[in-house]
A and B are shown apart, each in its own frame.
Chain A
Amino acid sequence: MFAYYLQLGLRSLRRNPMLTALMVMAIGFGVSASMITYSVFRAVSGNPIPEKSSQLFVPQIDSWGPGLNEKGEPPGALNYVDAMALMRAHQSSRMTLIYQIVLSTLPRDADSVPVSSTGYAVTADFFTMFDVPFAYGAGWSNADDDARAGDVVLSQEFNQRLFGGANSVGQKITLSGHDYRIVGVTKHWNPAPRFYDAWGGSGFGNPPDFYLALNRALDLKIDNAGRNSCRGAITYNGWDQYLQSNCIWLMPWVELDTSSDVERYHRFLESYSADQQHAGRFGWAPNVRLPDVMKWLDVEKIVPPESRISLIVALSFFVICLVNTIGLLLAKFMRRAGEIGVRRALGATRHEIYAQYLVEAAAVGLAGGFIGLLLTAVGMSGVGVLFAPDIARLAHLDFSLIGLTLALAIFATVAAAFYPAWRAAQVQPAWQLKSN
């Protein structure tokens, strides 16, 4: 029966080529606009570390107090004093501190000029907490951190540029005039959004070049090249005073495995803040937060508003296209009221009429889906016009998107056809083709 309905549907679609083309184009445009914007939205709003996102948390401590904090919320990073206190407390199974640095690399031939390289100063747990994949070697140990060792892990891309992709573990590398020991080389790893630097960066960008042992970086007074935020009158003068200031710039992450661990850590943050209050360092009651990865990305508004607005506009556009399709399908089906009457008289049940028209709509949807797929593919190349290059390159047409495009087109068109098909099925049986 399905084949018969399909045959009837296709014949009917051929009979009004303009009307059919109009519907197919409307569905195609609507579906492709939605898919293009969705592909970007999917890329920017996705979970960058799905297997662990609910075990990784940002400990937030209000070190600024009422009137200076973020409208009552604690700031998004830690100052040096609080960061080091949390590190020393060892209240979580793992913890890391992160700040962004920019260093120079001097290629080994003498005439060349130095090249800027960007990376993060991190502590040992960074690699295990975030499941960083390694091509060669591994991260350094907590003991290395305690020994303030000059260890560095290179990214695959940086290792490719400097060592042609060879195993460089054990070699020395000079960055901004200081020597470091390479202990590991990662495989390609660039979570999008870059959740661990969501406070400091845009969340999207090229993978970093290296990860450097944080204690050594601090010893060498390597300045923070990322975000820095201070409150009140700035009176520090020099690096050591800067470390004692209220400026926040160190990004903390902790790993907590169970909900009781989370509760316990939250209590710890409160008691730490209370201690600071008693010691007179904080003049306010404890104000702490402990968001996990997805909550943190939400707090940091990592999804660009452009992406959200364009998705909403595109979806509304699709809805209008569907309203358009409902109207046109209604016109198309009801024009054949006479034919329906005769079919009913010849024994077709309501149900069969219904099915026949839904199949016809599905055919329209499928055609619309293919047009939509074509337009989506074209539109993907134009995404760069809409979004910053960092974000635009995240959008791509993969199998799941192709499947989704076709499924959405067919599903939406069939849904749009319900009312017109229902109207068609209401036509009374009649012996003659009577026009009204």
Chain B
Amino acid sequence: MNEREDVILSARGLRKEYGSGESLVRAVDEVELEVARGETLAVMGPSGCGKSTLLHLLGGLDRPTGGELWLNGRRIDELSERASAQLRRHEVGFVFQAYHLMDELTAQENVELPALLAGRTPRASRRRAEELLEQVGLADRAQHLPSALSGGQRQRVAIARALANEPQLVLADEPTGNLDSAATLEVLRLFETLHATGLTLLVVTHDERIAATANRLISMRDGAFVDETRLTGGTMGTLADLAGLGS
């Protein structure tokens, strides 16, 4: 395998500007990024640093002012609106802070929807939704409406929905932003499972817990990347060490 095939997503000199002249805002300022296939990458920064805008650009939800974007070896920043929508449907999954589930549809129907929109048969869509709900531990909640689910459960339904069309890449915007500590842990466990299946996950967040579980952490300030850390753990101590009882 050559090096290019190892990179699923890349950005070159990516820019997003709003306004002009005196009031010009560089929301994303000359970002260079390469995301390796199978990697879990966290982009962290304070609100307003441009991380959500970056995620929207990477997923084709918004158009850059300048620079290039490549997904699976194909340039995507110049695609037509229609081709871009196709791409979002088939190659990228999205997870948002506020879940964005359809209130009037059951958990299962929510998960089926993207598969149906992508042209799968109702039967295949249903089977896929059942598998996914099983995978996120919510098979027994399949017929519930979102209003009957907890925040953590809703987010897991949303994650299942993001996977409906078997994307290789999932982009998540503050996925634990509305969740308490226990629900955050559920989502972290789920991300860990997905990582093990080879999924590439890019999360923008200000939750240190997500950042700490990623393979790579990028800090963003004022639209630009300012620091990068590889957190290769594996040196797990005993509970006493972690709690400082030994020292």
Asked whether A and B interact, the reply is no
